[in-house]
Structure 1
Amino acid sequence: MSLFNTSRLVGKTVLITGASAGIGAATAVLFAKGGSNLILVARRIHPLKIVAEEAAAAYKASGLTEGGKIATIQLDVADKAQVASLLDKIPQDLRNVDVLVNNAGFAHGVDKVGSITDADIDAMFATNVVGLISITQLFVREFKARGAGHIINLGSVAGREAYPGGSIYCATKHAVRAFTEALRKELVDTKIRITEVQPGMVETEFSVIRFRGDKSAADKVYEGIQPLVAEDVAEEIVWAAARPPHVNIAELFVLPVNQASATLEYRGN
């Protein structure tokens, strides 16, 4: 069965944060293939423009005639003033957002408690938690006014199980999970859908950032195991968005076949 065997995504407008690389970029391309309009948001405008071009090519190749509008917005979700101005930056013909994908987030360092810098703590919480909440609050108000909408938050296996060297990142993803669950319960009397996608090991630039640009250290994370790739997670996000309006995928926990938890994997491959 094709991922795009229905017309549920065609003409829908999807806003994706952290869309300049990794899971966000792959998700943008896949939504475009399904005929959605896109609002792509990220701090880095040059790679964001490249993703927009890739998404436009995917839409053109789909042969669809509806949807396919793409806008890019340079914005740091950790900057509250920038977030407050987001709605004003969205083109008028894309103002009615149907799906919000809160993808922006990162881990920085593997330092243990007692050695973690205030800068790393502040940066991870500002983006992974406060930024996600700030963006969500904007669109919850919009969705309530229209009586529909879908919020998809990117959680992590780190939001289910804490591990050494990840105390702050794990704390942020535990916060995302708690926030998402509370939000789902608050909106139970509406038609707004709330989803959390929780990936395990995914090979993107995530580990390079975590290891402060040390590519060799990042590569060791994936030695001996076949991890997920960005496109794998993108398929789960888009699949959840394409369910019938009365169906809500509350949580989607996805791991590589040889990973069983945050700290248990088989590396014999």
Structure 2
Amino acid sequence: MRTVLITGGTSGIGEAAARAFVAAGWRVIATGRRKERLDALVAELGTDKVHPAVFDVRDEAARDAALEALPAEFRAIDLLINNAGLALGTAPAQSASLDQWKTMIDTNVTALVSLTRKLLPALVERMGAIINISSVAATYPYTGGNVYGGTKAFVHQFSLGLRSDLAGTGVRVTSIEPGMVETEFTLVRTEGNQEASDKLYGGANPMTGEDIANTLLWVAQLPPHLNINTLELMPVSQSFAGFQVARS
């Protein structure tokens, strides 16, 4: 039985991925800050299938303590899914919050590379895999996307760099880059504005956390000689933004 560690397992894509991987016969280490949500996931899926690791990905000491406390049957990690991440604010750069920018960088970049580096030796030893969740914002800029898009562009490029460095080890690396997915993403970004979330997704038939979870599972279970480098997904209703023209 293979084991996957999924960061950001308390909602959205991460929570859906935990369910999908357990259904496919994997053990899941689900991480997140909200203990009650992880406990509910364990109650639903079983203590033998899911281990809850409660920590903020930005807190390296708490992360290391949680990894040290893993039960024996969950210690051999075959796949790391770096899913934890967030966008904060929608203001243009000149009026955006620097604190929000730093939080996005600390979460989407620093925490991701730190955990990846922590697990890399074991993943190399087991010829495992890494799936990083980037975004179409890595490629297509939009007003207010500024630092969020920059962090996701980093994730894309970091994934390619890992592929290059890990050549010959058997470790696979994939960057998954979704467009519009209806999760708590916009609620987090707007500090709980349900109206803004409803407006964004209303009538758009967006992708779901389950859609992306099934994609993650497909990538993870491909034959070991195949690597998906980058996979970009959008709902059919979403397309590329047009160019802006500022007129006098």
When normalised by structure 2's length, the TM-score is 0.93
Alignment partner, residue 65 of structure 1: none
**Which digits, 9 at most, give the CA deviation of each residue in 1:6-57, with x for residues without a partner?**
xxxxx11011000001000000000000010111110111011112233339
Cα distance, 1:86 vs structure 2:
3.9
Provide structure 1 residue ranges, at least 5 long, that are not aligned to the other structure.
Answer: 1-10, 58-67, 265-269
Alignment partner, residue 63 of structure 1: none
Matched, 1:120 2:120: no
Distance verdict in 2 for CA 1:53–1:192, change over 3 Å: same
Aligned length in residues: 243
- How many angstroms apart in 2 are the aligned matches of 1:262 and 1:30? 32
When normalised by structure 1's length, the TM-score is 0.86
Alignment partner, residue 186 of structure 2: 207
Q: 2:109 aligns with which of 118, 129, 134?
A: 129
Q: Report SS of the residue matched to 2:159.
A: helix
Alignment partner, residue 90 of structure 1: 70
Provide structure 2 residue ranges, at least 5 long, that are not aligned to the other structure.
Answer: 244-248
- How many angstroms apart in 2 are the aligned matches of 1:103 and 1:234? 11
Alignment partner, residue 14 of structure 2: 24
Cα distance, 1:261 vs structure 2:
2.6
- How many angstroms apart in 2 are the aligned matches of 1:250 and 1:54? 33
Cα distance, 1:110 vs structure 2:
0.2
Alignment partner, residue 90 of structure 2: 110
Q: Determine if contact 1:32/1:56 at 8 Å carries over to the other structure.
A: no
- How many angstroms apart in 1 are the aligned matches of 2:199 and 2:105? 26
RMSD between superposed Cα atoms in Å:
1.6
Q: Determine if contact 1:30/1:55 at 8 Å carries over to the other structure.
A: no
Alignment partner, residue 48 of structure 1: 38
- How many angstroms apart in 2 are the aligned matches of 1:27 and 1:229? 11
Alignment partner, residue 3 of structure 1: none
Alignment partner, residue 211 of structure 2: 232
Alignment partner, residue 79 of structure 1: 59
Matched, 1:69 2:54: no
* Residues 135-154 of structure 1 aligned to structure 2 (within 5 Å): 135-144=115-124, 146-154=125-133
Matched, 1:100 2:80: yes
Give the aligned residue type for 1:13. Answer: T
Distance verdict in 2 for CA 1:237–1:214, change over 3 Å: same
- How many angstroms apart in 1 are the aligned matches of 2:106 and 2:71? 26
- How many angstroms apart in 2 are the aligned matches of 1:242 and 1:196? 15
Cα distance, 1:149 vs structure 2:
0.6
Identity of aligned residues (%): 39
Q: Determine if contact 2:79/2:123 at 8 Å carries over to the other structure.
A: no
